[in-house]
Amino acid sequence: MIITEITENLADLPEAEREKLHIDPVYFDNETRLKRVQRVEAESGEEVALRLPTDFRELKDGDILQRTDDKVFVAKMKPTDVLVIAPRDTREALVVAHTLGNRHLQAQFFDADSEFGKDVMVVRYDHTVEHYLDHAGAPYTRGEHVMPEAFRHAEHSH
């Protein structure tokens, strides 16, 4: 089967409808969730081909790839190894953000209403970043999290 568009997400369906679905997950990591053309295998072993439009941005956790009479193929994002940085004050946040920004790291920011429960900056795990945070005394934790968006390479020039 070839999937050419994503039209709905499990999170948008009523709970009663979700409970009736037989879900066959298709797992994607940070890089594969960005590819618009690829062949992947569902958990059941069934092959699924994606040929998404050129304006495709990325797959989201819960995107419904295909519905058949007996099952639903759903995109599931694999957790990413990340550092969750929780600065104690604005100055510390700015210093850390400036230093990591100079390394052209991709970061995602969350507030207290997020799964993290506080204002945080999240970056992909890197041992040199962890070393910097230890040296700077900035509070952080390392963990595996399903990220709402992919970490992308930041294009730039000087």
Q: Domain extents for the chain?
A: 2-77, 80-145
Please, are residues 89 and 35 in contact by the beta-carbon 8 Å criterion? Answer: no
Q: Residues 79-98: what's their mean pLDDT?
A: 96
What distance in Å separates the CA atoms of residue 120 and residue 41, rounded to the nearest whole number? 34
Sheet holding 64-67, edge to edge: 23-28, 72-77, 64-67
Determine the distance from the C-alpha atom of residue 78 to the mean position of all C-alpha atoms in its chain, rounded to a whole number. 8
Helices (H), 21-153: 90-102, 127-136
For 16, residues 6+ apart whose C-beta sits below 8 A from its C-beta are: none
For 37-73, write each residue's pLDDT tens digit.
999 999 999 999 999 999 999 999 999 999 887 789 9
Q: Of 2.60.260.20, 1.10.3720.10, 3.30.450.40, 1.25.40.20, which CATH number belongs to 2-77? A: 2.60.260.20
pLDDT band at residue 152, thresholds of 50, 70 and 90?
confident
Residue, of 85 and 157, whose pLDDT is higher: 85
80-145 carries CATH number 3.30.70.790: yes
Residues pairing with 48 in the sheet: 40
| Residue 116 pLDDT exceeds 70 | yes
Residues pairing with 109 in the sheet: 121
Q: Which residue has the tokens 């958990």?
A: 43
